[in-house]
Chain A
Amino acid sequence: MSDASPPIAPPGAGAALVTAADLAVGYSAAPVLTGVSFALHAGERIGVLGPNGGGKTTLFRALLDELRPLAGELRLAVRAGTVPQTERSRLDFPVSALDVALMGTIAGRPWWRRPGRAERAAAHAALRRVGLDALAERSFGELSGGQRQRVLVARALVQDARIVLLDEPFTGLDNVSAQRLEQLLDELAAEGRGVLIATHDVDQARAWDQVLCLNRRQVAFGPPAQTLTLDVLAATYGRSIVTLPQDGGERLAILPPHHHDHDH
């Protein structure tokens, strides 16, 4: 992969990378998420919104083929790459940033072959793209939260994943890191990759191409400007949403999870 990869496909064109039709997923026979119908095309960024327990992670697990659909259909044109939450990976694991990027070469080579010169070059190129080649030999656990997210983006780039899933990638990032990551996501989409981002930040999702609102079922899907209405947000976040008076209108605010009244 070169530093300036040509677009894989023109944005929004051609067949969908992901299609879900009335999809239901869950861990046992009882689904925890139902009625999901959306499509992800090349070059699109879809923000996946919803409260904790609303089904964002469950949907991602289905997209990663860890959960089978209980009903409906889920089709992926190619295998998805993923940028998991780094709190879940072992920060004390003895690997460097380069090692993590090299994990992206596993699927692409026969199982008896070790990563060679070409694979190492691809891993370095991907780290350079996310601005971290200087830290290639640094231990993964010693990197900052934003840097770890970018190393995992580099791993997805090495995989040349055309579908990239990001699970709450902005959680715990400072402003500079968040901006840098946001810019990187824009670049991935501009190259013709399809990007799905689970987030808590409604305002951030307004800048993306589509939003998918989940609260144990699909509440809405569409372009943010038309989709993120007060009704949709209220149905998505339930009681944890409040309106705040603001100059020239009202502003929505979503209370952090520990603020709600738990009625279970």
Chain B
Amino acid sequence: MLDVLTEPFSAGIMQRALLEILILGAVGGALGCWIVLSELSYGAESLAHGMFPGLVVAALAGVPLLLGGAVGILVAALAVALAGRIPGIGRDNSVAVVVTTLFGLGALLALSPDVPPGIQGLLFGDILGTTEGDLIAGAALAAGLLVALRLMHWRLLAVGFDRSSARAVGASPLVADAVLLTLLAVAVLVAVQGLGNLLVVAVLVAPAAAARLLCRRLLPMMVAAVAIAVAAGIAGLYLSYYAKVAAGASVAGLMVAAYLLARLGALVASARA
């Protein structure tokens, strides 16, 4: 029995994948709570998809993905901000147009003949391909993100609770928005390595959405979200090892399954009450 649990992690590949899951879980769970509470899920998805050309260009040029992703996110964020100002078509629509365009551009580049193999890793992630360098960079970014969340906690709380009166208690909504969006960009950058462009939103939204159904205060919610993300992530690694299915997809799928389970639990609990 014990062998069944330990065997997958005897190889270095899986050990690094496990550490990557811990990093992803901490970042996704903690920041995810703010994303869910601030209704930024659509923004998270937009940034993740809009950065695709940056990743593809980095892969083509052989520069680190982290760098390409960072530039891609900056370009996507700028384009989204500018598109939001286009009058007459509505903010969500203009964002959708920009993001689809950027994603299409990335796909166009990705389908060119001289693309190196492994481009699909950009779309679906390559959690088993995590290198030591990825882990160090990811851990550093994750640590910075968690420190920033802790420092900004009360200001984010005051703004999220009531924007209109936040300034009166000394918390600027503008600063809070800027911090959340910056951290969102950092989180997407960290998570895109493991889960890829299309699945990254799962870790940023699903565990926190599940935790929200189970907790009534923010700190327990964050702890629960991190625990759910890590548990689903590890379960995903087992699933991928024994069922021989893609690791990123298993992890993302189980995170969404955790949300559905929490939803079901909340329904049952409210039916009993």
Contacts and interface: CB of A to CB of B under 8 A. Distances in A.
Contacts of A106: 154-155, 158, 169-171
A159 B169 CA distance: 7
Nearest to B221: A94
A72 B89 CA distance: 38
Contacts of B151: 111-112
A115 B216 contact: no
A100 B161 contact: yes
B270 interface: no
A99 B168 CA distance: 16
Contacts of A161: 168
A159 B151 CA distance: 20
B266 interface: no
Given A93-B37, A94-B212, A159-B169, A102 B154 contact: yes
Given A107-B169, A155-B169, A114 B154 contact: yes
Interface size classification for chain B: 20 to 34
A65, A99, A102, A115 pick with most chain B CB within 10 angstroms: A99
A230 interface: no
Contacts of B160: 90, 93
A150 to B, nearest CB: 15
Contacts of B157: 95, 99, 103
Interface string A126-141: 0000000000000110
A76 B164 CA distance: 19
Contact of A88 (B37, B164, B212): B164
A69 B63 CA distance: 52
B143 interface: no
Interface in A43-88: 64-66, 79-82, 84, 88
Contacts of A112: 151
A104 interface: yes
A113 to B, nearest CB: 9
Interface string A143-172: 000000000100100010100010000000
A96 interface: yes
Contacts of A100: 161
B168 A114 contact: no
A103 B166 CA distance: 9
Contacts of A103: 154, 157-158, 161, 169, 171
A231 to B, nearest CB: 34
Contacts of B164: 84, 88
Contacts of B153: 114
Contacts of A89: 161-162, 165
A147 to B, nearest CB: 16
Contact of B218 (A81, A95, A104, A115): A95
B162 A94 contact: no
Contact of A95 (B161, B171, B212): B161
Nearest to B162: A89
B223 to A, nearest CB: 13
A152 B157 CA distance: 15
Contact of A104 (B155, B169, B216, B221): B169
A111 B169 CA distance: 13
B272 interface: no
A95 B217 contact: yes
5 contacts: A80-B168, A81-B169, A94-B37, A96-B217, A140-B161
Interface of A: 64-66, 79-82, 84, 88-90, 93-96, 99-100, 102-108, 111-112, 114-115, 139-140, 152, 155, 159, 161, 165
Given A93-B37, A107-B170, A111-B151, 18 more contacts: A82-B165, A88-B164, A89-B161, A90-B160, A93-B161, A94-B37, A94-B215, A94-B221, A95-B161, A95-B217, A99-B157, A103-B154, A103-B157, A103-B161, A105-B154, A114-B153, A139-B216, A152-B165
The 8 closest A-B pairs by CB, nearest first: A107-B170, A89-B162, A84-B165, A82-B168, A103-B158, A106-B170, A82-B165, A94-B218
